[in-house]
Amino acid sequence: MGITEILGYFGALIIGVVLGLIGGGGSILTVPVLVYLLSINPVTATAYSLFVVGATSLFGSIRNFQKKRVDLKTAVVFSIPAFIAVYLTRKFLIPAIPQTIITIGDLTVTKNIGIMLFFALIMMIASVSMILEPSEKDAKPKQVKYNYLFITLEGAIVGVLTGIVGAGGGFLIIPALVLMAKLPMKRAVATSLVIIAVKSLIGFIGDIQNLEINWGFLLVFTVISIAGIYVGIWLNKFIDGKKLKKGFGWFVLVMGLYIFWKEIF
């Protein structure tokens, strides 16, 4: 086992630790770890990421159900268009993208490069969301109410984005639940994990029919990531994860810029 492969599995642990510490955002690291440290094709990496993100979010959801933080009605309303969109994206849209997307002079944007560039853009948007996120005290509890049209539309959009880049999309889901369903921040975070788990795992089903899955590797990587969650939860007793979130946001921004530079130059 080479040094980069060891770093890749260590990256799986870090993904879980970040999720356990700050409650989200760690999944945005899954694709870069798989692509740059474990040399996995970007299309396959986004598929594996869906499974890892879905499984780790499922474990987080179980804890939130036990603490009665999940708004089940909102989760169902949001999840249905999201998982339909992510399944269709993985089953039909990703295979339909041509191997060569565009050629401009000496620059040829292939399917793999295009996916990584789009992923870098999503990373940068996610980082801004983490850096500018309001504090818990600013998120005043409100009476829960539903704007079904906008929640359904947002669910479909998040589903497509998740299908393309393999990330959970919590940075899009949580603001939508706070603004459109008027959920308090803690319930929005807990509910978003359920939505992420459902749509990611169902989206992965679309890949099983299109890709050859290395189940041995995928299960080991996922188990390490889940173990990382419990390490992160334990560290939460000593470290305030919320204070780390803005710092992690800056790290994700730098990573997004690096991926953009690496794929272009």
Percentage of the residues of the chain whose pLDDT score is greater than 90: 24
Determine the average pLDDT of the residues in 20-41: 83
Least confident of 61-75, 167-181, 188-202, 242-256: 167-181
pLDDT in tens, 115-171: 999 989 988 888 887 788 755 554 455 555 666 777 788 888 888 988 887 776 777
Please report which confidence band the pLDDT of residue 172 belongs to, taking 50, 70 and 90 as the band edges. Answer: confident
DSSP 149-213: HHHHHHHHHHHHHHHHH----HHHHHHHHHHHS---HHHHHHHHHHHHHHHHHHHHHHHHTTS--
Least confident of 32-46, 176-190, 213-227: 176-190
Query: What is the model's pTM?
Result: 0.82
* Structural domain spans, the chain: 3-264
Question: Which DSSP symbol is given to 67?
Answer: T
Q: Is the pLDDT of residue 192 over 90?
A: no
R_g over Cα of the chain: 18
223 vs 18: which has the higher pLDDT = 223
pLDDT in tens, 13-23: 998 888 777 76
Mean pLDDT of the chain: 84
